[in-house]
Structure 1
Amino acid sequence: MKILVVGEQPLTIEQVVAVAQNQCQVALPTSQQWQSLIQRGADFLDQLLEEEGVIYGVTTGYGDSCLVEIPSHQVHELPLHLSRFHGCGLGQNLDLVTARAVVVTRLCSLARGYSGVSLALLERLVWMLNENIIPVIPSEGSVGASGDLTPLSYIAGALVGERDVYQKKPNQIVPIAQVYAEYQLDALVLRPKEGLALMNGTAVMTAIACLNYKKAEQISLVSSLVTAMNVLALEGNPSHFDEVLFAQKPHQGQQNIAAQLRDWLNSEVQTEHQSPRLQDRYSLRCAPHVIGVYEDSKIWLRQFIENELNSSNDNPLIDPVNLRVLHGGHFYGGHIAQAMDSLKIMIANIADLMDRQLAQLVDHKMNHGLPRNLTGSSQERLPLNHGFKAVQIGVSAWTAEALKQTIAASIFSRSTECHNQDKVSMGTIAARDASRVILLTEQVMAALCCAAVQAIQLRGLSEQLGEVLTQFQHWVLESFTFVEEDRALQHDLQRLVDRFEQFELLNPLDQRLKWN
């Protein structure tokens, strides 16, 4: 496997996804400069403890309890108590891929050297990732400041020999104590500040945001491909994507979508089948304008997510250069909250666009000669068969639920923890909402992939597609078979959704088709 070194260079969204997918192993830097930086932070904390300095979360209680002084002989027990009393997460557990993303995201922050943690802690996190021994993390219980305290407590808990972990496989959950016994390893004893460093940060929301960003890229790509197929199937007018036309509205992402559509529709099909209509309905004509909102937002979305990923976001920070303790609020997840609240609106709009395209495809009053509900049955069997009728209802339901999820989570700040955390980001809830919108949209996309290919085959255009659309059709047909007689389509749809979730389309199919 390739090895990703975490600690000296900033990570990208793609690198987090690669680790999450277990496509590479991780390592810490071997340079003396980096190792000295880590050691200086830990040594400085020890020095302060010897001098009986007051350090939040080290010699004091947490949050509103910061005025409670911890006796020196109990300081070393404090991190363990922090991990234990935060063990109250509920809800569905994060899947193995997401949990791996969380671990590498937290490692990235701590390995910057401004959290005062030991090399031993960082090495144990690396061991977890490389051995695929990953904490089981409940998804609910974070308000996004002081970071993801409760879900991240499950990493701290696993390090100290408590809680459960995924062992190698997503369906194999065992107590971490059992794993340590098998590997003949001792549980980690957290040093002062290490419990707080592990838990008081934005790793959960940021990890989910990284995965969401890549899935959104895939949705944008597939929706553009489906739109091209549907322009052909509905005998649409490709001049809606004219280069001169789009030059007059200089949104670069929107222009890129129009350029893709022009390229993919530049085939013999278009020269032989000119549309008789001046203007198509908005869901075809304005597709670049809908999809382009996400494409134009990718720049700032990536900036927000990767800046957060490569930040030291716990509190307090330990400055190993100037030897200072810096109390602040970097655990606040406002940028991720804004990114995810915005992303879910963009993606739900794409789901709505696809829903409207499917409505055209199945309705004989506006599909320009395609069979009712895209049925592929013979004329004799036509009265019995209903093709994609129920699929269209399902798409409408999934789209409606996606749209319902788009209310901003970040505006629902709650005052918590005795009003110490009196303004919080809700970043983790925003990220989870975005994940739900993305999954619902993937379900919509799966249906549209099947319907678009069915329509192309009904038109007899399969052999006349350009190179990219031909490749895309083949990709869909790996999971979907032309519907002649009515049959349950659940498994066809689920196979496509699963392939979206596994990032199959993004790697390596997009490289072969030069979609980047």
Structure 2
Amino acid sequence: MTDKKTIIVGKDQISIDDVIAVAYDNAQVQLVADDHWRQRIQRGADFLDQLLEQDGVIYGVTTGYGDSCVVSIPRHQVNELPVQLLRFHGCGLGENFDHRTARAIVFVRLVSLARGFSGVSLALLERLVWLLNQDMMPVIPSEGSVGASGDLTPLSYIAAVLIGEREVSYQGQVISTASLYQQLGVEALTLRPKEGLALMNGTAVMTALACLAYHRACQVSHLSSLITACNVIALQGNPSHFDEVLFAQKPHQGQQRVATWIREAINAEVEHTAQSSRLQDRYSLRCAPHVIGVFEDSRAWLEQMIGNELNSSNDNPLIDPDELRVLHGGHFYGGHIAQAMDSLKIMVANCAELLDRQLAQLVDDKMNHGLPRNLTGASDERLPLNHGFKAVQIAVSAWTAEALKQTVSASIFSRSTECHNQDKVSMGTIAARDCMRVLTLTDQVVAACLCASQQALQLRLAQDEQLRKQKQLSETLHVLKLWVEQSFQLVIEDRPLQATLQELVQRLADLQWLRNEADQIHSR
């Protein structure tokens, strides 16, 4: 998964994995070398020219935008209109999207425009490819889109960079586009009449975020399952809760997959843990497959919803290059992404809540079945002074609470905007941003629980001679242990864990566990 590859745009379907490759691995991008495709792109652009010569009325080309569609644009001002559009939308605020996310956004917009139904020129598509391959990304503020008519304001920052305005992120620095073009001897692009609207009137921001969120959620799901397995062993849990026959009786395949992950991960310890005197563990252990499995069972429809939007023409109007028609519609509406992201953030936050409850068991000597209070590794003499994971558990509770707070549906908060032309909007971009925030908070919970579960597991092994005499941890948990130990060493004496947690959170943000797993599967 870490091998660089080239993504061909313009003919075949683009996958969520392709977006990840462009965003995370700086994969190169090429337009398809196909004469038929190039002729199709040209036909759409030529058809617009033909309509202009015939004094045809074209929304956003010879008219104003939105509620201003009743305003006619004189023929001699048509070429100025795209620049006016991108300039008055230059009002984004909030934190800027990071460089990786900007790459995903530019790529997703390219994929849509390259379908050939937007009336843009080949030169525009080639310039977007050039930006990606030069790794010269527009600086895009994250706030200001209601998700219809698409992501107008954030996407205006791509359009502005094409004409040499605003700022770009290049070689680790933020620099004005005009000065960088001058340094490189590059001429700014002149936008054709519909190209400003085609760039901006679409769902590229929310869809790019959805692609990134989906992969991060896959990582959360798998790691939540393996952390649960560690905690089952550390808490002397009952392995029969994950029995294959038991889960065959509730045939959710994703839920069964999670039960299998946990069952196989604790397999080496079954003989010992089967001696547990408890028939039933608390829900956060016993029902972990049921909690995590909701996401695993939702993966198919999430991939479909995100993938369909990714491979769609979603600006307005569309230009049919085959029948030579102008098609007015509302494909910029991001309802499917809004629903996917509102749903996904709930699934992810539930994983955070699950791990939070497991950690509460681990640190509480009233319920952790003989582990040291707060998981401290201190000697008996130093025990009164040391508090182990006490503060970490408080922090996890805070991060979990904030994640749960973010799960209120964004899509139901539609606002009537733009003189009531946009009177029902999707809020898809806000839903996607909420989901990314939930994922960041959940990554913090995962990082803390990775450390705590490893601490608990080692403390249990140290005090349980029978368990030590058995064969080693399963291969999966051994790999997990080594992966965590790259950042975390057992806490004997209290020490600040901020730097450790930050390092783990960054590795999670880089999808290192998910990519490590993919590389291992590929090498087998």
User: What TM-score results when the alignment is normalised by the length of structure 1?
Assistant: 0.98
| Alpha-carbon separation, structure 2, partners of 1:314 and 1:232 | 53
Does 2:123 align with 1:120? yes
After superposition, the C-alpha distances for 1:56-96 in whole angstroms (9 at most, x for unaligned) are: 00000000000000000000000000000000000000000
Aligned 8 A contact 2:26 2:135 in 1: no
Amino acid at match of 1:393: I
Cα pair distance change 1:121/1:473, threshold 3 Å: same
Q: How does 1:417-496 map to 2 (within 5 A)?
A: 417-460=418-461, 464-496=472-504
Q: How does 1:295-334 map to 2 (within 5 A)?
A: 295-334=296-335
Structure 2: which 5+ residue stretches go unaligned? 462-466
Aligned 8 A contact 1:131 1:168 in 2: no
Q: Which residue of 2 aligns with 1:357?
A: 358
Q: Which residue of 2 aligns with 1:374?
A: 375
Q: How does 1:62-461 map to 2 (within 5 A)?
A: 62-169=65-172, 172-267=173-268, 269-273=269-273, 274-460=275-461
| Alpha-carbon separation, structure 2, partners of 1:378 and 1:152 | 58
Deviation at residue 480 of structure 1 after TM alignment: 0.5
Residue in structure 2 matching 1:509, options 504, 517, 521: 517
Deviation at residue 178 of structure 1 after TM alignment: 1.3
| Alpha-carbon separation, structure 2, partners of 1:515 and 1:504 | 16
Aligned 8 A contact 1:410 1:430 in 2: yes
Amino acid at match of 1:360: Q
Q: Percent of aligned pairs with the same residue?
A: 69
| Alpha-carbon separation, structure 2, partners of 1:364 and 1:202 | 50
Deviation at residue 515 of structure 1 after TM alignment: 12
Structure 1: which 5+ residue stretches go unaligned? none
Aligned 8 A contact 1:13 1:210 in 2: yes
Q: Which moved more, 1:175-184 or 1:316-325?
A: 175-184
Look up the SS of the partner of 2:236 in the other structure.
coil
| Alpha-carbon separation, structure 1, partners of 2:261 and 2:428 | 34
Q: Which residue of 1 aligns with 2:15?
A: 12
After superposition, the C-alpha distances for 1:235-289 in whole angstroms (9 at most, x for unaligned) are: 000100111111111111001111111111111x221342221000000000000
| Alpha-carbon separation, structure 2, partners of 1:364 and 1:49 | 77
| Alpha-carbon separation, structure 2, partners of 1:101 and 1:312 | 17
Amino acid at match of 2:508: F
Amino acid at match of 1:194: E
After superposition, the C-alpha distances for 1:210-238 in whole angstroms (9 at most, x for unaligned) are: 00000000000100000000000000001
Deviation at residue 508 of structure 1 after TM alignment: 2.7
| Alpha-carbon separation, structure 1, partners of 2:143 and 2:8 | 31
Q: Which residue of 1 aligns with 2:464?
A: none
Q: How does 1:19-98 map to 2 (within 5 A)?
A: 19-98=22-101
| Alpha-carbon separation, structure 1, partners of 2:518 and 2:499 | 24
| Alpha-carbon separation, structure 2, partners of 1:24 and 1:352 | 35
Aligned 8 A contact 1:160 1:187 in 2: yes
| Alpha-carbon separation, structure 2, partners of 1:515 and 1:369 | 40
| Alpha-carbon separation, structure 1, partners of 2:164 and 2:521 | 47
| Alpha-carbon separation, structure 1, partners of 2:148 and 2:365 | 53
Look up the SS of the partner of 1:464 in the other structure.
coil
Aligned 8 A contact 1:468 1:513 in 2: no
| Alpha-carbon separation, structure 1, partners of 2:42 and 2:18 | 26
Aligned 8 A contact 1:348 1:399 in 2: yes
After superposition, the C-alpha distances for 1:290-336 in whole angstroms (9 at most, x for unaligned) are: 00000001110110001000000000000000000000000000000
Amino acid at match of 1:46: D
Cα pair distance change 1:131/1:43, threshold 3 Å: same
Detail structure 1 runs of 4+ shifted over 3 Å in the superposition: 513-516
Deviation at residue 168 of structure 1 after TM alignment: 2.4
Tell me the C-alpha RMSD between the 2 structures: 1.2
Deviation at residue 512 of structure 1 after TM alignment: 1.4
| Alpha-carbon separation, structure 2, partners of 1:418 and 1:31 | 44
Report the count of equivalent residues: 513
Look up the SS of the partner of 2:175 in the other structure.
strand
Look up the SS of the partner of 1:455 in the other structure.
helix
Aligned 8 A contact 1:364 1:372 in 2: yes
| Alpha-carbon separation, structure 2, partners of 1:514 and 1:314 | 38
Deviation at residue 125 of structure 1 after TM alignment: 0.4
| Alpha-carbon separation, structure 2, partners of 1:423 and 1:233 | 51
After superposition, the C-alpha distances for 1:124-165 in whole angstroms (9 at most, x for unaligned) are: 000000000000000000000000000000000000010100
Q: Which moved more, 1:294-303 or 1:459-468?
A: 459-468
Deviation at residue 491 of structure 1 after TM alignment: 0.7
Look up the SS of the partner of 1:21 in the other structure.
helix
| Alpha-carbon separation, structure 1, partners of 2:364 and 2:460 | 15
| Alpha-carbon separation, structure 2, partners of 1:300 and 1:400 | 27
Look up the SS of the partner of 2:426 in the other structure.
coil
| Alpha-carbon separation, structure 2, partners of 1:23 and 1:484 | 41
| Alpha-carbon separation, structure 2, partners of 1:444 and 1:260 | 20
